[in-house]
């Protein structure tokens, strides 16, 4: 008997069957059987293939055509395996799918469905981005593909696949049956299933009109499941609406998170940076004495050649492309792209300057620049504005688009455009009068393309629709319309029987013959309070009173009448699909950029080749020698001068030269292969050229608890800077006469990701950064040599150093070509582990720093230095706002409500306050996530409603946070916490969670969004109030909106602006 039975229904799919079977035979788990069910195939090729099919472990079952659900059932009946895997004849599975699924099913008997991530192949090629499994959302949409593992006994228990699902989705129905018997679902986080997409694929062939029928059948089959989860269904429905809104915002903003787009932009920046670097180098070469000596020494490469080369580089320096130009009667819309160092785009109409789109200075009312990274080298422009002149339909006008770089170079596009005239109808209201029983409204609508009709709404209800084919409509008198006229009038007199308010919203819609629509809204007030009399009687309207029936009872009536939300959810998914397609259309622009990149790359290779030829000549070496004398002997540091004499010595003694002494390192150009369209795991060989590199001297190591230093360092990396994050421990060199070379060999460099390194420096003594200060001259010497080694290895010239702790003060003040930022993020005197000896250096650091940033107003007020900014903490919204597929194990099947806290449980945690709160509320569960080092928690040992989870990694914190009903911050109130701006508060709010905190100055400014408390009684009251409104969508949205406006990215942008102002 086999462990797994793989059932493959086949109906006229013989051409694919071998691929499906071979993917099963290649499994790392060998205990299986394959059952192919020939479901009455009529295709001759399929019949011939299956007639004598003889692959290992495979048998063929021939039946009449009964449809896919029954074909699967027929195969499973013949199966001997404990576990079943249905596999369509045109799909494939990964080599380890079976082995990993079997281990999961063997380990946990409560898991009834195991599936994985998936990819599509065939006519399309991409990852199949199915939503994460949710027991609520699967009632609205299926996120488990058909080829999931399950137990045969469970199949027998639920009666197998239902044949009544004649329009498809039989697998969805079957999964619901398993969920109905309380079976859990597990998704393997790897791509192990491959779904073939064909023009006739089942997913594509489900007709829109059959969707309501499918939902009706699903509810009929699983009425109890849907009834018991009706609240969750509406919650999922709401989430889908939010997803539509989110995607709509993306489309409107022109943003796209497609990974390829980021890679392409990175490559553009790299190419541009390299071109600019080479252009500057070529100009410096031409102006140097070394080059003139070189030109005089040879005749094969005249000066005119390099001049022409420079001109060619400049000619290709700016690329301008216009995607769209549309001219209307009184407005214009233009969009396009400009590459490499663009500063602004100027728009001209008939040689008249309309306006200019300046990069980085968007004005939404006139024009905007697409939100690409600053100085990325790629700037999109979109110009939409009213015109100072009128352009009637059919008139021809000249549009000129001029792109201008920071250096003043220009590129123009000139095109002729014919005005489209008045495309959208223009509405002009001449009169609107509202009485308590009647409405009178009149006006004109104008369009160069003719008017079709006018729709008039009162409080969102259509009361009249005059069109060009009728001279009157019910309750309305109209001016005579003329068919296809470019100008039509309307007049409406309508009696109002149902409306009794004193204020109404009137909406007028004009629809042109070209389909364009225009709306005009008015709010009008009733002019008198008397009812209109008709035939001597008062017309009255009474709203019938309807009983509010329970939602559960609503489900007992026929589905087609009582549960429209299921059908509407399909419409939402279609909206999501349309918006996704819209985003994909935007990516067409990216494809066009590839052509530009290819043009850059080809030309760059040509430049490289020509310069390489020159680099092998004696003249080039002579130029390198001149540069070496200038940079090392005349202007170099002590170490550089030492290297120069080492080189002279080796040359005179004719010794082999070490790589670091080679003359060619002083070549103005270095030749590297440019990699195009690489994955994130690979490194780009060219780094964006910035004005400086960043050194971070922190107070915690990179792998410690994720805080402000790591977050801000990552922001520098994301904006194109190289970051060197120094460890708080050093490599101890226990000798007094170590050489520079020995120190360089001992420096530890760990690459964390692209453009980010963690560095461990060398020192003579072991040092504790919280208690010691640097006094030993050998410590200074070894530390500075370590930094010099890093600078030489990575070709670092200018640096900005961010110091997080006064311990580093005396070291960073000795660095050359360096600006110092002191990030004062805590009141360091409030930590018991910090020594007064070390902290005494803070006064000196505050005086000498070029810029001081503080995380709270209290710290800001302490700083005397004039170059200071308040830079509060932030949150990583994307990381915490999305609910994970599964909550943390400690929060599954836990008694609710759950009151949660995560972070350090240390000397500043008010353990007495927390103990009293937990003791008073034994029916609540309290979760504490974090290390308890430095805090005596023994008083909580006897409280069964308090759970300690220990320290958890930053990556999995959302799985705890989203399991909390209310979050708390129970700190002691002292000098330390009074100066604290808690990072966790932004993370709590990113998830939309309610927060109760002690009264701290930095938290009080966030009230009333956050409730404040001082005692256990006040905490209890605030939490109880929050628990009453835990599902308040408006409150959740406000919290998330606040967090979205306080992200680390926004904090970085403010810091970068201050660096440009104070330090550069």
Over residues 1052-1058, mean pLDDT: 92
Q: Quote the CA–CA distance of 513 and 449 in Å, as a whole number.
A: 6
Residue 538 pLDDT more than 70? no
Residue 723 pLDDT more than 80? yes
> Other CB atoms closer than 10 Å to residue 251's CB: what's the count?
17
Is 632 inside any structural domain?
A: no
Q: Are residues 40 and 177 in the same domain?
A: yes
Pairing of strands 868-870, 851-854: parallel
222 phi/psi in degrees, rounded to 5: -135, 50
pLDDT (0 to 100) of residue 386: 76
Is 917 inside any structural domain?
A: yes
Who wins on pLDDT, 22 or 540? 22
Residue 652 makes CB contacts below 8 A (sequence gap 6+) with none
pLDDT (0 to 100) of residue 815: 93
Q: Are residues 257 and 236 in the same domain?
A: yes
Nearest to 575 by CA among 272, 865, 892, 247: 247
Q: Are residues 431 and 393 in the same domain?
A: no
Q: Are residues 889 and 1002 in the same domain?
A: yes
DSSP 8-state class, residue 926: E
pLDDT digits (tens, 9 = 90+) for 305-324: 444 444 444 444 456 677 77
Is 601 inside any structural domain?
A: no
The domain boundary, picked from 870, 898, 931, lies at 870
Q: State which H helix or E strand residue 272 sits in.
A: helix 259-287
Nearest to 202 by CA among 167, 227, 228, 234: 167
Length of the chain: 1064
Q: Quote the CA–CA distance of 905 and 1003 in Å, as a whole number.
A: 19
Are the CB atoms for 689 and 760 separated by under 8 Å?
A: no
Q: Quote the CA–CA distance of 676 and 601 in Å, as a whole number.
A: 9
DSSP 8-state class, residue 139: G
Is 11 inside any structural domain?
A: yes
Q: Quote the CA–CA distance of 194 and 119 in Å, as a whole number.
A: 5
Q: Are residues 934 and 1038 in the same domain?
A: yes
CA 1048, distance to chain mean position in Å, is 14
Residue 680 pLDDT more than 60? no
Q: Are residues 254 and 379 in the same domain?
A: no
Q: Are residues 173 and 42 in the same domain?
A: yes
Over residues 850-866, mean pLDDT: 91
Is 391 inside any structural domain?
A: yes
pLDDT (0 to 100) of residue 130: 85
Q: Are residues 346 and 489 in the same domain?
A: no
What DSSP line would sit under 396-433, residue for residue? EEEEEEEEEETT--EEEEEEEEE-----S-EEEEEEEE
Q: Is the dihedral of CA 675, 681, 683, 687 positive or negative?
A: positive
682 phi/psi in degrees, rounded to 5: -95, 160
pLDDT (0 to 100) of residue 432: 80
The domain boundary, picked from 473, 490, 525, lies at 525
Count of domains for the chain: 6
| Predicted structure pTM score | 0.43
Over residues 401-415, mean pLDDT: 73
Who wins on pLDDT, 566 or 747? 747
Which residues span the domain enclosing 475? 426-525
1028 token code pair: 């009453």
Nearest to 947 by CA among 993, 983, 987, 893: 893
Residue 1057 pLDDT more than 60? yes
pLDDT (0 to 100) of residue 920: 95
pLDDT digits (tens, 9 = 90+) for 342-358: 667 788 887 777 766 55
Using a pLDDT cut of 90, give the percent of the chain over it. Answer: 38
Q: Are residues 180 and 300 in the same domain?
A: no
Q: Are residues 98 and 242 in the same domain?
A: no
Using a pLDDT cut of 70, give the percent of the chain over it. Answer: 71
375 token code pair: 């100085």
Which CATH number do you get for residue 92?
3.90.550.10
Who wins on pLDDT, 138 or 279? 138
Q: Quote the CA–CA distance of 29 and 96 in Å, as a whole number.
A: 7
pLDDT (0 to 100) of residue 298: 43
Q: Are residues 824 and 915 in the same domain?
A: no
Q: Quote the CA–CA distance of 466 and 490 in Å, as a whole number.
A: 7
Q: Which of 166-170, 227-231, 647-651, 818-822 has the lowest mean pLDDT?
A: 227-231
Q: Quote the CA–CA distance of 1003 and 979 in Å, as a whole number.
A: 11
Q: Quote the CA–CA distance of 324 and 585 in Å, as a whole number.
A: 14
Distances in Å between the alpha carbon of 506 and those of 452, 524, 843? Answer: 20, 7, 67
Q: Are residues 934 and 796 in the same domain?
A: no
238 token code pair: 């709401």
757 phi/psi in degrees, rounded to 5: -130, 145
675 phi/psi in degrees, rounded to 5: -95, 135
Is 585 inside any structural domain?
A: no
Which CATH number do you get for residue 365?
2.60.40.10
Q: State which H helix or E strand residue 783 sits in.
A: helix 777-793
Q: Quote the CA–CA distance of 650 and 757 in Å, as a whole number.
A: 33
Q: Quote the CA–CA distance of 203 and 118 in Å, as a whole number.
A: 15
The domain boundary, picked from 255, 290, 314, lies at 314
What is the SS3 assignment for 622?
helix
Residue 183 pLDDT more than 80? yes
Strand partners, 824: 854
Is 51 inside any structural domain?
A: yes
Q: State which H helix or E strand residue 851 sits in.
A: strand 851-854
Is 550 inside any structural domain?
A: no
Residue 83 makes CB contacts below 8 A (sequence gap 6+) with 3, 4, 5, 101, 102, 105, 149, 150, 151, 152
Rg from Cα positions in the chain? 36
pLDDT digits (tens, 9 = 90+) for 229-266: 765 665 555 565 555 555 545 444 444 445 555 565 56
Cβ burial 747-775 (10 Å sphere, 16+ → b, else e): beeeebeebbbbbbbbbbeebebbeebbe
> If you search the block for the tokens 């071998």, which residue do you land on?
18
Q: Quote the CA–CA distance of 218 and 202 in Å, as a whole number.
A: 18
Are the CB atoms for 457 and 509 separated by under 8 Å?
A: yes
């Amino acid at each position: 008997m086999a462990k797994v039975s793989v059932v493959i229904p086949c109906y006229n799919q013989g051409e694919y069957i071998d691929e499906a079977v071979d993917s099963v035979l290649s499994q790392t788990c060998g205990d299986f059987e394959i059952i192919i069910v020939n479901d009455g195939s009529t295709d001759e090729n399929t019949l011939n293939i299956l007639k004598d099919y003889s692959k290992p472990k495979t048998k063929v079952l021939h039946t009449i055509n009964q449809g896919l659900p029954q074909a699967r059932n027929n195969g499973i009946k013949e199966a001997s395996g404990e576990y079943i895997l249905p596999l369509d004849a045109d799909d494939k599975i990964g080599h380890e799918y079976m082995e990993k699924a079997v281990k999961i099913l063997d380990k946990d008997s409560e898991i009834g469905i195991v599936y994985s991530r998936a990819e599509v192949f065939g006519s399309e090629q991409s990852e199949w981005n199915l939503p994460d499994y949710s027991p609520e959302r699967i009632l609205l949409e299926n996120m488990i593909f058909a080829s999931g593992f399950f137990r045969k006994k469970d199949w027998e228990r639920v009666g197998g696949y239902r044949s009544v699902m004649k329009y498809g989705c039989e697998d969805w129905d079957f999964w619901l049956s398993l969920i109905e018997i309380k079976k859990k679902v597990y998704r393997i986080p790897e791509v192990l299933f491959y779904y073939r997409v064909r023009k006739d694929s089942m997913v594509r062939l489900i007709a829109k009109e059959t969707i309501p029928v499918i939902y009706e059948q699903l509810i009929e089959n699983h009425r109890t499941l849907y009834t018991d989860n009706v609240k969750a269904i509406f919650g999922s429905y709401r989430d889908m609406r939010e997803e539509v809104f989110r995607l709509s915002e993306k489309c409107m903003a022109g943003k796209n998170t497609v990974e390829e787009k980021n890679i392409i932009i990175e490559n553009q920046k790299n190419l541009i940076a390299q071109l600019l670097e080479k252009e500057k180098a070529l100009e410096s070469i031409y102006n140097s004495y070394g080059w003139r000596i070189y030109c005089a020494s040879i005749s094969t490469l005249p000066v005119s050649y390099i001049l022409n080369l420079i001109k060619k580089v400049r000619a290709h320096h700016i690329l301008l492309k216009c995607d769209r130009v549309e001219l209307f009667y009184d407005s214009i819309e233009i969009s396009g792209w400009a590459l490499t160092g663009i500063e602004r785009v100027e728009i001209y109409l008939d040689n008249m300057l309309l306006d200019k789109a300046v990069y980085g200075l968007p004005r939404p009312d006139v024009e905007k620049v697409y939100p690409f990274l600053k100085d990325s080298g790629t700037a999109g422009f979109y110009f939409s504005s009213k015109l100072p002149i009128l352009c009637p339909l059919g008139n021809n006008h000249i549009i000129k688009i001029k792109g201008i770089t920071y250096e003043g170079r220009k590129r123009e596009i000139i095109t002729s455009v014919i005005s489209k005239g008045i495309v959208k109808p223009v509405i002009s209201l001449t009169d609107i009068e509202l009485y308590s029983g009647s409405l009178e409204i009149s006006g004109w609508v104008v369009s160069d393309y003719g008017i079709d009709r006018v729709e008039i709404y009162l409080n969102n209800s259509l009361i009249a629709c005059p069109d060009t084919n009728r001279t009157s409509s019910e309750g309305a008198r109209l001016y005579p319309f003329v068919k296809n006229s470019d100008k039509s009038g309307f007049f409406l007199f309508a009696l109002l029987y149902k409306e009794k308010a004193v204020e109404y919203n009137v909406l007028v819609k004009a629809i042109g013959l070209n389909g364009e629509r225009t709306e005009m809204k008015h709010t009008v007030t009733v002019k008198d309070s008397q009812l209109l009399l008709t035939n001597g009687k008062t017309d009255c309207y009474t709203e019938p009173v309807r009983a509010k029936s329970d939602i559960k009872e609503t489900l007992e009536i026929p589905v087609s009448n009582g549960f429209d939300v299921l059908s509407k959810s399909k419409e939402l998914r279609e909206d999501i699909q349309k918006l996704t397609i819209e985003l994909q259309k935007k990516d067409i622009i990216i494809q066009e950029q590839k052509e530009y990149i290819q043009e850059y790359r080809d030309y760059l290779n040509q430049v490289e080749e020509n310069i390489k030829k020159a680099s092998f000549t004696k003249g080039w070496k002579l130029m390198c020698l001149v540069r070496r004398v200038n940079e090392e002997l005349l202007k170099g540091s002590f170490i550089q001068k030492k290297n120069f004499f080492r080189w002279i010595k080796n040359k005179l003694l004719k010794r082999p030269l070490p790589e670091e002494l080679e003359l060619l390192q002083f070549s103005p150009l270095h030749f590297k292969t440019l990699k195009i369209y690489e994955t994130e795991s690979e490194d780009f060989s060219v780094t964006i050229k910035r004005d400086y590199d960043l050194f971070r001297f922190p107070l915690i190591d990179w792998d410690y608890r994720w805080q402000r230093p790591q977050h801000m360092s990552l922001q520098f990396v994301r904006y194109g800077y190289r970051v060197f994050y120094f460890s708080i421990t050093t490599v101890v060199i226990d000798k007094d006469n170590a050489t520079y070379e020995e120190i360089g060999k001992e420096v530890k460099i760990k690459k964390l990701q692209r453009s980010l390194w963690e560095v461990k420096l060398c020192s003579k003594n072991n040092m504790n950064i919280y208690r010691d200060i640097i006094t030993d001259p050998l410590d200074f010497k070894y530390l500075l040599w370590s930094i010099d080694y890093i600078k030489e290895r990575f070709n670092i010239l200018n640096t900005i150093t961010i110091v997080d702790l006064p311990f580093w003060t005396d070291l960073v003040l000795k660095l050359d070509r360096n600006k110092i930022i002191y990030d004062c993020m805590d009141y360091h005197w409030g930590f018991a582990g910090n020594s007064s000896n070390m902290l005494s250096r803070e006064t000196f650091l505050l005086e000498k720093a070029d810029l001081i940033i503080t995380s709270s107003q209290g710290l800001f007020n302490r700083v005397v230095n004039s170059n200071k900014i308040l830079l509060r903490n932030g949150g990583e919204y994307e990381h915490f706002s999305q609910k994970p597929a599964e909550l943390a194990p400690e929060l599954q099947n836990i008694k609710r409500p759950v009151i949660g806290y995560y972070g350090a449980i240390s000397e500043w945690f008010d353990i007495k306050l927390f103990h009293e709160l937990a003791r008073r509320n034994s029916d609540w569960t309290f979760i504490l996530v974090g290390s308890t080092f430095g805090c005596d928690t023994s008083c909580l040992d006897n409280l069964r409603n308090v759970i300690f989870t220990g320290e958890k990694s930053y990556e999995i914190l959302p799985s705890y946070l989203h399991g909390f009903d209310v979050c708390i911050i129970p700190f002691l109130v002292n000098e330390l916490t009074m100066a604290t701006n808690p990072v966790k508060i932004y993370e709590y709010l990113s998830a939309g969670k309610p927060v109760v905190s002690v009264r701290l100055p930095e938290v009080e400014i966030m009230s009333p969004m956050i409730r404040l408390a001082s005692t256990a009684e006040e905490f209890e009251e605030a939490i109880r109030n929050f628990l009453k409104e835990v599902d308040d969508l408006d409150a959740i949205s406000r919290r998330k909106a606040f967090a979205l406006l306080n992200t680390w990215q926004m904090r970085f942008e403010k810091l970068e602006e201050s660096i440009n102002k104070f330090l550069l």
